Amino acid sequence: MLEAFLKALLIILYATFVGFMFMGIIRKVTARIHRRIGPPIYQPIIDTIKFFSKKENITHGVIYDFGIIFALGATILALMFIPLGGVSILRAYGDLILITFLLEIPMLGIMFAAMSSGNPYAGIGAQRALLTLLAIQVPLGFAIVALAEYYGTFSTYEIVMAQQIHGWSIFHLPLLLAAIAYDIVLQAMFGKEPFDIMIAPGEISLGPMVEFGGKHMGILQIQHAIGLFAETLFFSNIFLGGAVVMTFASPILNTLATLVILLIKQLAVLLIAIFISTIFPRFTIDQAARFYWKWPTIIAALGAILASL
Amino acid sequence: MVDWRLFEPLFNWARKKSLWIVSFCTGCGGIEMPPLMTSRYDIERFGIIPDPSPRQYDLFLITGYVTPKTLKRIIITYEMAPDPKWVLAHGSCPLNGGVYWDSYNAIKHLDKYIPVDVFIAGCMPRPEAVLDGIHKLMEMIESGEADGWKRYRENYEWYRKNQDELLGEGWREKEARKWIPWLMDKRKEVKE
């Protein structure tokens, strides 16, 4: 019991730290692409400390506070189900559908909070975010179906183990198609540029985030960090082979090697997202919905059909 | 309640290192803001990013002359932010009216309406001058000298009196109700 609790705490701390580094990498790499120097890589941590050090706080009622906590809790729960090499605690129950569902719950929590603030910008942002969420379901569902059809199981850990024997998922053609569709969906899940319609800085102020200040925004920063970590981890687990290292004699060395390999794969996923986001302008919401229901859906459906043949 | 005084140096360092600017471009100084953010005088080196929300900013740049109509929005934006927040007045016009010294419609002393922490003279100041002003503000935050938000809280009666003298008593409600009759007339026109 105590051991599981300590393990969960360690996973949360590691995910928060690495997530903040990922946010810093996003800002730094974006700056380098713009030929700027950019902020130090630990800048998001400073931002979060600053948000928690605000001397007053604004609240609009119970749901406004609860929605934020709900988002953070859902992200942490999603993280617990994703296998992190050999350390994850709930990985035996880590169902593909469950994790995909839990990774979208935080958006609903933020929507609760944003809608209860009564700000019209937050309302517009919430509507756009819900439409984006609806649009990405279709390719996401087909990608998951392709995976489950190919490996014959829904368990994420078993998929990772199967990739140890048969090679990475992206080297099989049906799953490569699913991975491409999932990677396009990831742009919307990260809230990155071609599909950052829900946040849309400059277009609708900040969308749902417009009303959050002080400690609410601090918690949202932590949520975003853990969310980035969990989404990249899920992608590298199901498509890039995860990591189960057995070469060393001592289990600590094995765990460390696992974490390093996973980190490299996560960074690869993140960097692709950054490169796409820095060179593409934003879609309008109707274009985004039409796009998601067309190309990624066709690609993912093709993958699902090929996988079931 | 936890006593956070022990953490105050850490908090001051974090506040200094991550000043978010609200994108409120008043007057001609608005054109001096993009050069600050882009690749030549990259201000993100110091952790400063523009942010469109009035709830999240720490640094309010008043870039240029302020008319009474803008002042209402500036006061509302200033009061919407949570507490440690700083104002940097940029250019000659917020300082003493600048070239608009005899205009009936420009604010001569911005410091009478909202507390200003750092003034930068110049029309317009170079981006280097703005960077210098921000550096000065960072030093003041570190030492605890920059206390505009505290002054606004303690001397609220004085600031409120000055605002009401200029804009008229109850200007917030009046401003909010201003468009209602016009909208009603429009609705009637559509019906007819």
Look at chain A and count its residues. Answer: 309
Taking residue B189's Cβ as centre, other Cβ atoms within 10 Å add up to 8
B83 to chain A nearest CA, in Å? 5
Instruction: Give the span between the Cα atoms of A139 and A295, in whole angstroms.
Output: 9
**Ramachandran class of B168: left when φ > 0, alpha when ψ lies in -120 to 50, beta otherwise:** left
- Does the pLDDT at position A224 exceed 80? yes
The per-residue pLDDT of chain A, averaged, comes to 87
pTM of the model: 0.89
A212·B55 Cβ contact <8 A: yes
- Does the pLDDT at position A91 exceed 80? no
Give me the percent of chain A exceeding a pLDDT of 90. Answer: 18
What's the pLDDT at B5? Answer: 77
pLDDT values of chain B reduced to their tens digit, one per residue, 192 residues: 567 778 888 888 888 888 899 888 887 888 888 888 888 888 888 889 888 888 888 889 888 888 988 899 999 999 888 888 899 888 888 888 888 888 888 888 888 889 998 999 888 888 899 899 999 999 998 888 878 888 888 999 999 999 888 888 888 888 888 888 888 887 777 766
B84·A201 Cβ contact <8 A: no
The answer to whether residues A260 and A252 touch, using CB atoms and an 8 Å cutoff, is no
What's the pLDDT at B192? Answer: 65
Order across the sheet with B20-22: list the strands: B49-51, B20-22, B59-63, B86-90, B118-120
* Domain contains B177: yes
What's the pLDDT at A24? Answer: 92
A307: confidence class by pLDDT, cuts 50, 70, 90: confident
Higher-pLDDT residue of A248 and A286 is: A286
Instruction: Give the span between the Cα atoms of A142 and A301, in whole angstroms.
Output: 6
B38 touches A at CB < 8 Å = yes
In CATH, what number is assigned to the domain containing residue B170? 3.40.50.12280
Instruction: Give the span between the Cα atoms of A234 and B76, in whole angstroms.
Output: 44
- Does the pLDDT at position A244 exceed 80? no
B58 touches A at CB < 8 Å = yes
What's the pLDDT at A21? Answer: 92
The C-alpha angle A10, A78, A273, rounded to 5 degrees, equals: 95
What's the pLDDT at B2? Answer: 66
Number of A–B residue contacts, CB under 8 Å: 89
Higher-pLDDT residue of A231 and A205 is: A231
Residue range A48-60: average pLDDT?
A: 87
* Domain contains B19: yes
* Model ipTM value: 0.86
What's the pLDDT at A196? Answer: 82
Helices (H), chain B: 8-17, 33-37, 68-80, 93-96, 127-143, 148-154, 156-167, 171-177, 180-191
* Domain contains B1: no
What's the pLDDT at A298? Answer: 92
Instruction: Give the span between the Cα atoms of A150 and A141, in whole angstroms.
Output: 14
* Domain contains B2: no
- Does the pLDDT at position A249 exceed 80? no
* Domain contains B138: yes
Instruction: Give the span between the Cα atoms of B42 and B58, in whole angstroms.
Output: 19
Contacts of B33 in chain A (CB under 8 A): none
DSSP state of B118: E
Contacts of B17 in chain A (CB under 8 A): 43, 46, 50
Instruction: Give the span between the Cα atoms of A193 and A190, in whole angstroms.
Output: 9
Q: Report the domain count for chain B.
A: 1
Give the tens place of pLDDT for each residue, A128-175: 888 888 888 899 989 888 888 888 888 888 888 888 888 888 888 888
Instruction: Give the span between the Cα atoms of A89 and A78, in whole angstroms.
Output: 12
What's the pLDDT at A32? Answer: 92
What's the pLDDT at A271? Answer: 92
Question: Phi then psi for B88, rounded to 5 degrees?
Answer: -120, 115
* Domain contains B40: yes
Residue from the list B47, B52, B56 with its beta carbon closest to the beta carbon of A43: B47
Q: The domain containing residue B75 runs over which residues? A: 7-188
B39·A54 Cβ contact <8 A: no
A86 is written with which tokens?
A: 């050999």
A58 to chain B nearest CA, in Å? 7
* Domain contains B168: yes
A57 touches B at CB < 8 Å = yes
